[in-house]
Structures are given as structure tokens and as C-alpha cells.
A and B are shown apart, each in its own frame.
Chain A
Amino acid sequence: MSEFLQIRNVTMKFGELLADKDVSFDVPKGMICGLIGPNGAGKTTLFNCIAGYYAPTAGEIFFEGKRISGLPPYRIARLGIARTFQVVRPLKEMSVLDNIMVGAFLHHASAAEARKAAERCLDLCFLEEYRNKPAGDLTIGNKKRLEVARALATNPKLLLLDECVAGLTSTEVHDMVQVIKRLRDEGITILMVEHIMEAIMPIADKIVVLSHGEKIAEGSPSVVVHDPMVITAYLGEKFARKLAEQKAAAGEGGAL
């Protein structure tokens, strides 16, 4: 089972800068795995290594037992790994539906079938009303949704989401979280980078914490938030206290 995505001693250097330092962890099939850490921790860089945009300076990445580090992005996409971009990249002059269709064409040669598949993703990500709008004209929140819809249209086994709820309103965050849960229930494994703890903690089966390029913790959300290293490196006392209070309150009420 743990043969799904394996990250083995991945190091990524930009000149002298060590963006990722000897990072290893597994993402088992069917999970939602959160990747968190302060700004500049090396999360996006690790995504870029998995998706083939960078070849790691050292270390290896395996997907379903096959070594993928060093392969070009389009080959990795064809193996079933789709990614969103933290800095959104709409295909600006194309309509929202056409953007998603580009993804859908990966497994549908005919335009009619690709359109049908794309329409499903359009609905799933709450983009129906913007169907024929040029993608460049969308608000940032909708561009984030388009990132997810387009990646989803490639029918991936593993979905890499890089801060896909950042910039959304709290109801939109809630909607997107529901979507992500639904995808997991459909069998898609998810590795997501997120700063908004309220979005990731309730749904993640596992959390990996990076700080200054190094993995400092790994485990279930409740274990990770109590890890003293994590608290000092990232969460800060305030959030940890809030969490403890919430827990106590929930315990009294008998819920959860």
C-alpha cells in the first residue's frame, strides 16, 4: 500500500540555497495528506520535483513502484499525477470550459467526450456560470477553482494541490473542502499544501511538516499539532492554545 508515492531523500538546491534537504515520506493510496510549513519551507519546490518541473539534486521519487524523478512533466501527468499551481496559471484567452477540456483530452481523443468529461469537473468545482468566460477574466477565487477543475479533468490517481483554497472566502473554503473530501471518497489520493489550518486539519489523514527545507514532523493531525517542534517552528503558541481550548470544549459537550 505504501508503494503509492514514495519520496526518498529528496534534496533540491538552487545554487547555494537548500530548498529541500533530504526529505523522505510516503503518501499511501486513498489518503488526504497535508504538507505544511512556514513560508519558504520548500513545499512548492517539493511539488515541482514530484511533478517533474525540477529534477531533484539528490534523492528519488517513486510512483506506484516506478521511478519518476527526472521524467518530464508531461510524462508524469500521463502516469496519473496532476498538479495545480500556487500562482494560478489560467490559459487566459481560452474559455473556462476550454481550459478544462485541455485536461480532459488526456484520456479522451474526441472533442465531444472531452467536453462531457470537462463539464463534470466544471460542475464539481462550482464553475458552471463562468463556462464561456475567458479564463483570464475570472476572479482569483475562481481561478483557484479552475486550477483544481483542470487538473481533475486529467482523471488523476494523485492530485497535488498547492494552496488551492488561499484567497477564497470562508464559505468558498468550506465548499472546496467538501469537494476535496468527495474526490478522496472517489479514490483519488491527495497531497495538499495549505496554510489555512481550518481547511486542512479536519480532512487530512496525515500531515507532513517542512521547515527550512527539512521534514520536522509527520503523523496524524492531532499528533502533529502537539509536536513541540512543530508548535515552535510553525503553528505558534496561539494556535496550539486555541486548539487545546476547542478540544476541551468538545470533550465537555461529548461531541467528536
Chain B
Amino acid sequence: MQSDSIKRAIPWMLSLAVLALLPVTGLLRGSFLSHVLVMILLNASMAQAWNIIGGYAGQVSFGHSVFFGIGAYGAAYAVTNLKMTPYPGALAGAVLAAVLAVIIGYPTFKLKGHYFAIATFAIVEVFHRLFMIWEDVGGAVGLDYPILKDGWRNFSWSRSKVGYFYGALILFGIIFSLVRALEKARFGYYLKAIREGQETAESLGVDARRYKLAAMALSAAMAAMCGAFFAQYNYRVDPSMVLSLDMSMRFVLITILGGIGTLWGPLLGAAILIPLQEYTRAYLAKLGPGVDLVIFGLIIILVMQFQPKGIMGMIDAARKRRRKLAAAGNEHEGGRQ
């Protein structure tokens, strides 16, 4: 069994290694392409973080921009106000996000119905307003980074995006490896069972509330790590950048488009939406703010119309069709012999 799981890990490790070699090939010399790649990796990681609670455990959260924001502010606060490296700030942000996640989940997971979704919806507005008036973190202006020396110590690179690319790749590697392991473990089975039937899961000894809380805390902490990266990458943070419903919807939409509750859905969703968004941004901006979201909303509605399980669902269906055809073909040949 041990060697089995090692064997299973080989393609995944190889893909990470191939991605890690990209900068060496010189393909990333153009900074726009590297920017798009960084954004794909970041958004895939964000969607995957959301996927833990929203996809596997089936509890839809609209509050992930808050966890994301807490991580972003954590890193930025450590750098700008405390003159430290961003790492302790990111870590503190992750812990605080997990604590907040438990505070929201504890009362609402007890209730049946949509209380959890509503509560996560509400905190976005609450935290946006809070950070707008919180002088210590710059209020509406937010926090601007000073000029820092390039490198891993400050997690900041001004001349090329290669450093950020590796940073995003590490983030992506950690979050996807985590969910990959979780999917095959008791934790993942229990989350799926809770999603498919909480009472059934409980009849099998699953403390559903505890598992949902654990999933929520893990998901929030991962979202906060993504937020910390986002602050580092933009060299600043302000309330509207992170603490918005738009940002929350990003977590949800990418996952749904790619395939909710699947390992590769978040990556597929990001790999399709982000280039589309980055390449059409300049053009769409002329039409007014939020138009891009409307268009992406439409794309997602269209996809869902045909396949509620997103692009992963389409791929699965195509695979099944092919297998069926192959089986029919074999039978046919067998018949002739």
C-alpha cells in the first residue's frame, strides 16, 4: 500500500517539477505571461482552499474574501508597521482566519438550513466596514509597502516575476498536495459523507459538526495564506481590494466552473477563467466596472446548464463515452472471431 501511494504521487510530483522548470526555459521572460501564470496558480489555490469546505463538505461559504483579507492584512501589517518579514504576519493571519471560521461555524453548523451561508455572507460587509475605519491598518487607504530588498526574506521581487512564480507554485503545491492527501483519507471520506447525507454520516459514528468545523478552519487558514501572497504580490492592500463580495465570488465561481468537490476542478477553472479575464480586462474595463464578473457569471450559468459538475464533469462524461465505445468495439470484434 505504501509503494502504491508513492506510485500514485509520481505524476503529481512530475507535473510540479515541470512547472518549476518553466522559468529556466525562458518562456517566462515576458512579464505578462508570468503574471498570468502567477494569477492562475494563486486563483487555483484560492479555489482549492474554498473547495475543502464548499466542495468536499458541501457547505457553501460566501465569506472567503474575509479570510483572504485577514491573511493579506497580516502579511502587510507585519511588513509595514512591525518592520518584520511577512512570514509571521501570514501565519498569524492564517491562525486568526481559522479562529474566525470556527466562531462562525460553531453556532451555524448546529442549525439546519442556510444559516451558515447567510452568516458568511454577512461577515464580508462587517469586515469591510471595520477595516475602512480601522486607523491602525490604514483605514480606507490601506497599507502601502516600503521599498524592500528583493528576495525570499522579504518575499518581494521588483525586477522580474520569477520569484513570485516560485512563491505561487509553492502555495499551489502545498494546498493541492494537502487536498490530494485529504481526498484519500478518512477526513475526506467523512466530509463527502456529510455532504451526501449528514444523518447517514452520523449513524456511522461521524461527529459531523466537528468535521465541518475542522474543514472550515483548514479552508480559512489556506485562504489566508493566499491572501498574504496577494498582498506581497501587489505590494499593498486596502479594504476594497480584498474584503468584497466580488472577491468572495471568485472563490466560488472558479471552483464551480472547474468542478466542485473534485481535486483538479479548481485548477481547470482558474486555467480557463484567469487568462480570459487578464486578456479581456483592458477591453472590458471600457464597458464599466463589474462587467467582467457578469460575463463570467454567464459563462458559468452556461456550463452548469450542460454539466452541473463543471468542466471536470464534462471530461468524466467524455471519458465514460469513450470507454463505452471501446467496450462496444471489442465486443463487436469478439463476435466476429
**Residues of chain A at the chain B interface (Cβ within 8 Å):** 51, 53, 72-74, 77-78, 82-83, 85, 89-94, 98, 101-103, 105-106, 109, 111-112, 114, 150-151, 153-154
Contacts and interface: CB of A to CB of B under 8 A. Distances in A.
B125 interface: no
B197 A77 contact: no
Interface stretch (B41-49, B74-82, B186-194, B246-254): B186-194
A116 to B, nearest CB: 10
Say what secondary structure dominates the interface of chain B.
helix
Contacts of A98: 189, 192
Interface stretch (B63-71, B203-211, B324-332): B203-211
B196 A91 contact: yes
A53 B199 contact: yes
Nearest to A113: B1
Contacts of B204: 77, 82, 102-103, 105-106, 150-151, 153-154
Contacts of B190: 102, 105
B202 interface: yes
Interface size class of B (residues with CB under 8 A): 20 to 34
Interface of B: 1, 184-186, 189-190, 192-193, 196-197, 199-208, 261
Contact of B202 (A73, A93, A101, A150): A73
Given A98-B189, A101-B189, A106 B205 contact: yes
B117 to A, nearest CB: 20
A110 to B, nearest CB: 8
Nearest to A102: B193
A83 B190 CA distance: 18
Given A94-B196, A102-B190, 16 more contacts: A73-B199, A73-B202, A73-B203, A77-B203, A77-B204, A78-B205, A82-B204, A83-B203, A85-B203, A91-B197, A92-B197, A93-B196, A93-B261, A114-B189, A151-B203, A154-B204
Nearest to A135: B196
Give the top 10 A-B pairs by smallest Cβ distance, nearest first.
A91-B196, A77-B205, A112-B1, A106-B205, A73-B202, A102-B193, A89-B200, A105-B186, A74-B202, A103-B204
Contact of A111 (B184, B199, B203, B205): B184
B210 to A, nearest CB: 9
Nearest to B185: A111
Given A74-B208, A92-B196, A114 B186 contact: yes
Contacts of B206: 74, 102
28 contacts: A73-B202, A74-B203, A77-B203, A89-B200, A91-B193, A91-B196, A91-B197, A91-B201, A92-B196, A92-B197, A93-B261, A94-B192, A94-B196, A98-B189, A98-B192, A102-B189, A102-B192, A102-B201, A103-B204, A105-B190, A109-B186, A111-B184, A111-B185, A111-B186, A111-B189, A112-B1, A114-B189, A154-B205
